[in-house]
Structure 1
């Protein structure tokens, strides 16, 4: 039986990407061959390579492990996050993947329970691994455990942690994330279904039982952290959730693609027009299609059907909350915003700011809004030369 055309196209794109990525993989090969030795040496010299600093905050039954990478010093949003976690009863273990000026370090230790300084080895998952190593050494077994990094403004608006803790209890879940990846799958007959995949790795909330589980502990004891970004995404971000779900732990994201698309199916035509008006595109042909739909808006059933097909096509290819920030805000709220330096994410932040200024999106606290606005304006003046995906 002949393969469907969409599957042939998908495999060709995958082959092209692999060929384009081959030079990078060849450059990284020597480091990968040395990896086991490098990791063994790091672990053997862990106490010499790291520094654990006691903070002023008291320990408690809930712990938040926050990995920080801020080579230019700590922005206000870091303190906003720590103070928010503390108000919810979390003792914060901050893991620094880069040195900080003494003034910033003093402010940090005044708010945190402990601060771990470490080399930037293994990206965020390396920081997660080492932070959990400290907790295990100290015999800390929290009733709730948050693992997160500083690649998001959190919380951007509302009280998402209260919602997540309530959902953890009410639904009998083992873990929650802010966003959970889902992929659309088609069987041989063409029938569609969603495959639920990993929690995005910038925020996890776990029950105490989940954090103590054999699956959780086995993953981290066996995790071979690496400073290869593609390895970290595959074996860290994707591998972590996959390991837990395959061993029976119940994980869920507060926002998911399937729920978004179902809501769009039920949306009124004016809501769809607004979704497109505030849309963000990473693909030129989608941008052209969206502009044409807006220019031809007439409120008709035919326009609505075309707009729905367009939203689905874009949302299945790209992160839906980035592509349609106003529509996602109306459905889920905007609990967080990514700080990713890619232009796609920058345009999303511009649209969120536009929505705030027009009164369609609730603003974050004033200090956070000032930082957010400044980042948007600075990006416009000085777009980064090498904008990479962040974890």
Structure 2
């Protein structure tokens, strides 16, 4: 993997410069029907099979909360879908899938800055998640009220890899102080852009938080791993046993260790204490967006769910749809989740 990545360190900057020089030819801008507001949301989508209804639902939520949506599509959009998007967006940008999500974030943000579009708060979000799951979602209100320069939903910090701590990249909210600061424009202009997915994660998502912290900008977030542990510990014995069985399937590295507790009596002396110990050791559900629905939605009330089609996420959706928690999800998002894993 490192050998494949190595050439990018020589060609990334020249390719970025070439991309910037050709943007007037490769980027297509279409004015939408939504008015510009004090706050703006960059919404990155990649939907080559057609526009998803859940995306329109997200755009309407953003606009209702005072964010004018700038939709960035990393795949071509049909004329029919473009007309539908225009009704829900302030601006639609179509671009080649160069740099994946961070390449799209960069082009949209630089456009806003170069055009001197007035912005107070700037939200950056992508369509790797369904958001918001419920119509009464308050995440955007929380992000504004936090009074932080950079705000995310989940702060990924695990004890053994503290040096890689970062806000997860499916949701960022940049505050007024940072948006108007020269550090903000400089970061996006000089961003290490590649078309290597692993490097996009390592040089984009995993470094963005630290890059702004190093310059003195404040960060905030809704949850971290401590919240995940607390939520797990608040489950009943029966619920913990259900999570153990689930965790064995989504985290095979620890499945053998967990197996002895899946089949044991959860009310037996010592069973719960042992499971709580495994939680403290981060052997039970340390990955936030793959957490069991009882924890992610039932306890933490997360407003988003991952769309990933890997088996572990399919299992998570099956667990959700078999629970009463699904009744709390809005009809549009529930329909999207129910149909996601059906054969095409």
Structure 1 length-normalised TM? 0.80
8 A contact 2:247–2:285 mirrored in 1: no
Task: Note if 1:281 corresponds to 2:249.
Answer: yes
The change in CA–CA distance for 1:313 and 1:41 in structure 2 (over 3 A counts) is same
1:165 maps to which residue? Answer: 141
Separation in 1, partners of 2:110, 2:91: 13
Alignment counterpart, residue 154 of structure 2, candidates 179, 183, 186 = 179
Task: Note if 1:230 corresponds to 2:198.
Answer: yes
8 A contact 1:278–1:325 mirrored in 2: no
Task: Note if 1:148 corresponds to 2:125.
Answer: yes
Alignment counterpart, residue 56 of structure 1, candidates 19, 24, 33 = 33
Task: Note if 1:110 corresponds to 2:87.
Answer: yes
Say which SS state the counterpart of residue 158 (structure 2) adopts.
Answer: strand
Separation in 1, partners of 2:92, 2:242: 44
8 A contact 2:150–2:218 mirrored in 1: yes
Following TM superposition, by how much is the alpha carbon of 1:351 offset from its aligned partner in structure 2, in angstroms? 1.6
Separation in 1, partners of 2:189, 2:74: 20
1:8 maps to which residue? Answer: none
1:69 maps to which residue? Answer: 46
The change in CA–CA distance for 1:145 and 1:289 in structure 2 (over 3 A counts) is same
1:101 maps to which residue? Answer: 78
Following TM superposition, by how much is the alpha carbon of 1:73 offset from its aligned partner in structure 2, in angstroms? 0.9
Task: Give structure 2 stretches of 5+ with no counterpart.
Answer: none
1:212 maps to which residue? Answer: 180
Separation in 1, partners of 2:8, 2:115: 33
Say which SS state the counterpart of residue 157 (structure 2) adopts.
Answer: strand
Q: Once the two structures are superposed, what CA deviation does each residue of 1:289-331 show, in whole Å capped at 9, x if it has no partner?
A: 4443232124134000122233445557751441333122222
Task: Note if 1:45 corresponds to 2:22.
Answer: yes
Following TM superposition, by how much is the alpha carbon of 1:259 offset from its aligned partner in structure 2, in angstroms? 1.6
Q: Once the two structures are superposed, what CA deviation does each residue of 1:85-136 show, in whole Å capped at 9, x if it has no partner?
A: 1111211111111101110011001211111111110000000000011101
8 A contact 1:56–1:113 mirrored in 2: yes
Following TM superposition, by how much is the alpha carbon of 1:30 offset from its aligned partner in structure 2, in angstroms? 5.2
Following TM superposition, by how much is the alpha carbon of 1:273 offset from its aligned partner in structure 2, in angstroms? 3.0
The change in CA–CA distance for 1:316 and 1:215 in structure 2 (over 3 A counts) is farther
Which 10-residue stretch deviates more, 308-317 or 41-50?
308-317
Alignment counterpart, residue 86 of structure 1, candidates 63, 70, 90 = 63
8 A contact 1:54–1:115 mirrored in 2: yes
Task: Note if 1:242 corresponds to 2:217.
Answer: no
Following TM superposition, by how much is the alpha carbon of 1:288 offset from its aligned partner in structure 2, in angstroms? 4.0
Separation in 2, partners of 1:38, 1:195: 29
Following TM superposition, by how much is the alpha carbon of 1:52 offset from its aligned partner in structure 2, in angstroms? 1.2
* Structure possessing the higher radius of gyration over alpha carbons: 1
Q: Once the two structures are superposed, what CA deviation does each residue of 1:180-215 show, in whole Å capped at 9, x if it has no partner?
A: 2011159xxxxxxx7782111111112222222233
8 A contact 2:8–2:194 mirrored in 1: no
Q: Once the two structures are superposed, what CA deviation does each residue of 1:237-286 show, in whole Å capped at 9, x if it has no partner?
A: 11111111222222223221112213434544344234335546333353
Structure 2 length-normalised TM? 0.90
Separation in 2, partners of 1:341, 1:204: 23
Task: Note if 1:370 corresponds to 2:335.
Answer: yes
Separation in 1, partners of 2:283, 2:46: 30
The change in CA–CA distance for 1:277 and 1:231 in structure 2 (over 3 A counts) is closer
Separation in 2, partners of 1:54, 1:370: 30
